Amino acid sequence: MPPQRRSKPRSPEHAALGEAIRRLRLEAGLSQEQLAERVGTDLTQVGGIERGVRNPSYTTLLRLAIALETTVGDLTGFADELRDG
């Protein structure tokens, strides 16, 4: 039996980070598959991060930021803005 897919974000912080990545990806005109390719990871990893159900490592965050032409600081700052409303 396959593992159950997690549907709820791990935390509000994970949800906000995922939303920030999703918005930047869409702004860059990239699909999840294209972003995953640029990052060197799997499509399911990107989808899980965007849904807030996966906890990305610092290395993955750094690769995401580079692929989205931003910095980890700006990425997490954007996530904080989204979380705080």
Whole-model pTM: value is: 0.90
Give the pLDDT of residue 48. 96
**24 is a domain residue:** yes
**48 is a domain residue:** yes
Check: CB of residue 83 under 8 Å from CB of residue 13: yes
What domain range includes position 24?
A: 12-79
Average the pLDDT over 56-77 and give the result: 97
Give the pLDDT of residue 7. 79
**55 is a domain residue:** yes
**23 is a domain residue:** yes
Amino acid letter for position 83: R
Give the pLDDT of residue 24. 98
**7 is a domain residue:** no
3-state secondary structure of 81: helix
Give the pLDDT of residue 85. 84
Give the pLDDT of residue 4. 63
Model confidence pLDDT, tens digit, residues 25-49: 999 999 999 999 999 999 999 999 9
**47 is a domain residue:** yes
3-state secondary structure of 4: coil
CATH number at residue 51: 1.10.260.40
- State the chain's mean pLDDT as an integer: 94
Amino acid letter for position 26: L
**84 is a domain residue:** no
Q: How many structural domains is the chain composed of?
A: 1
Structure tokens at 23: 């918005």
